[in-house]
Structures are given as C-alpha cells and as structure tokens.
Structure 1
Amino acid sequence: MSFRFEGYVIISADGMLADPMHVMPDSLKFEGDKLFFEQALDRAALVVHGRHSHEQQANSAKRKRLVLTRKIKALTVDPEMPNATLWNPDHAGFKEACAFADVACGTVAIIGGPVVFDMFMDRYDTFWLSEAPHVQLPDGEGCFVGVPERTPHDVLASHGMKPGAPYLLDAAHDVTVTPWRRAYTSP
C-alpha cells in the first residue's frame, strides 16, 4: 500500500471548525475554499472522516470513503452510502479498512473531525489549513484535540509540520489556505 496523506479543514480565528452542536456554520463557508476543497477531494482515492463530517458536494456519493464510528465492530458497507465503509479503528486497522474499501494506493484525504485528524497527525504529508480570520465561534468545536488550549499552528508544529506560503482563497474575507508539510531531514 502506497498512500499520500492530506488533511483539510477551514477554521475560525479562534481555531474552531464547528459550532457547539458539531455543525459547520454558514459563517465558515466561502466559495473559494469550497472550490479548493472540492477539487482536492475529486483527486483523492479515499476520503476519511467521522460521523459529523461530510462534504455535501455533487460528487460526494461517488467518492470512496471510510467513516469512523464506534457503533459497529466489523467493517461494513454503509447502508445509506454504497461507496462508504463504516470503520471502527478499535476493531480493524487502517490497512484492513482500506482493503475492505478496495483502495490500495493514492491520496487519502482526512476531513475531520478533531479525533479523526488526531489519528493521522503523524502521517500527514501535507495538512491544508484554511483560515477565516474574521469569524469567531465562541464555545465551538476545536479543529484538533487540544484546541483551544493550544493553537492549531502549535499542534501541527508539535507533530513535525512546517507552514509553507499561504494562498489567498477569498480576498473579500481574507480567507487563506496554508500547506503545512512534514519536515523531512535528509540522510
């Protein structure tokens, strides 16, 4: 198995990816970010997320995915989404889940939530961190385990990631995406 791991999230200025009810509010939805995200997922071989995360795009049903859940033990096809595999990581490893989903290589797009992001924190080749600096979500759901006690930048850096140059996605709202990449050392 040969995979490239990429994470994707858009966050508020206070590091939140959702409101207190685990819902991404409209205030965090921007056309430039949605286009960037959709194009990235169209290139992915596999999308991985928890039960509260879903991209709700035109091609969503066509994408192979792993949906993390603690409600099942054995790997199973999601009865509501035929391209989705329900996966409990306490009972099956990632490689086993990929084999069940019939995915052996390519880009794995991790799209959240915080516990799912955390599971792959030491595997990311690139984590695409989109930021909406004018949005605040008090008492929201932090994008990573440990946020807001630490900033999302601190969490990524603590796992050996370094930020690249940000790209502007929405000039009217100053929304950017920054690629955080693994800091590899040469032999």
Structure 2
Amino acid sequence: MADLTIEGYVIVSADGMLAGADRVMPDVLKFKGDERFFTAALDRADLIVHGRHSQEQQPNAPMRNRIIVTHAVAALAPDPDNPKAILWNPSGARFEDACAFAGVTSGTVAIIGGPDVFAMFMDRYDTFWLSQAPGVRLPGGKPCFPGVPGRSPQDILAAHALKPGAARMLEPAHDVTVTPWLRATKS
C-alpha cells in the first residue's frame, strides 16, 4: 500500500533484548525519555500492529486503532475485547486486507513487536526507531529480532537495506538513545 508509512519501534538492552526471560519488559529497561518518545509516536500513528504479548500499557492505548497478530482466527475478525482492534492471521489474509478491515488505508502504521511481528515487516519499514539502553543487560532474555544475539539488531536492520540516521539522546543520565534506521527508497 503506497499510502502507508510503516515504522517500527523498540527499546533494547545492550545485548539486544526487549524483555527478560519471562517475556516481560523489566523495569530496568523502562526510561521516561523513551516512554515520552514512544507515546508521542503512537499518538501520531493511524494504526498500531503487535502480537498478543506486545501491547503498550498506556492511558491512550484503548483509543488507538490496532491490529493484533494471532493464529487464533482463520484470517480476520473483530477483537471481541476491544472495539478499536481487529485480529489478523497472516496465514489467512494479506496485511493490506487487514489494514482495510481495520479501516486504515493511508497514514502511519506503527509496528511495536514482538520479534516475529518485527521480522514480518523487515523489508517494508520506511523507518525503524531503535532505542538502546547500553547500561542494561538481560542475559537469557527475549531478543528483539529473530537472529539476535548471534547478530546485533543493527546488523539485522542493515541486512534489510536500512541505514542509520543521526542518533538522538532520550535519557542522558542513562545514555539511552534512539536511532532512526531509514530505507533509501520504498520497495
């Protein structure tokens, strides 16, 4: 869909993890500066896409249009628990069909995880916003992308024709930054 801009968002530890071994984002990976950046991005997005374990827990979350990636439905279905959400099984329907079913055919789509959902869009991102917390390590944690920690998140993004832009400081006291990884041309 040429009218959709696809952006990814994740914060990772120094070892490329987005959650602990329990699949939950630990408090040591939560920073006010990153939270403000993430919240503002989601407030601007027209549609949020995530797996069933990757929901943002913010006051505005119930007001956002979203697609929840799941194998619990054959193709597409309304979410019985959230009138602003639909359930999408990528094996049964194309992404474009899911967007249309959600009522969004133009604007910005924010992909917020988990790892398999991030991987589905690797060749479609216009920008991937990689926040990094270099002072945090999560041994045995949940990697941000398939292939981590064998490869770094940066190596994986570069392998999918994304190039880093200028990093921006989000939390100086903890050296937390966000780097936009940009696609030179849309494919």
Give the match for residue 95 of structure 1. 96
Give the match for residue 115 of structure 1. 116
Shift of 1:86: 0.6
After TM superposition, the score normalised by the length of structure 1 is 0.97
Equivalent pairs, count = 185
SS, match of residue 57 in structure 2 = coil
Shift of 1:99: 1.1
Q: Distance in 2 between matches of 1:8 and 1:75?
A: 24
Deviation per residue, 1:125-157 (Å, 9 max, x gap): 100000000000000011001101100000000
Matched, 1:86 2:103: no
Matched, 1:52 2:53: yes
Give the match for residue 27 of structure 2. 26
Deviation per residue, 1:31-77 (Å, 9 max, x gap): 00000000000110100000110111111001000000011113111
Report runs of 4+ in structure 1 exceeding 6 Å deviation: none
Contact 2:16 2:143 in 1 (8 A): yes
Give the match for residue 4 of structure 2. 3
SS, match of residue 54 in structure 2 = coil
Gaps of 5+ in 1: none
Gaps of 5+ in 2: none
Give the match for residue 151 of structure 1. 152
Give the match for residue 131 of structure 1. 132
SS, match of residue 70 in structure 1 = coil
Give the match for residue 176 of structure 1. 177
After TM superposition, the score normalised by the length of structure 2 is 0.97
- AA aligned to 1:176 is T
Across the aligned residues of Structure 1 and Structure 2, the Cα RMSD in angstroms comes to 1.1
Percent identity reads 63
SS, match of residue 176 in structure 1 = strand
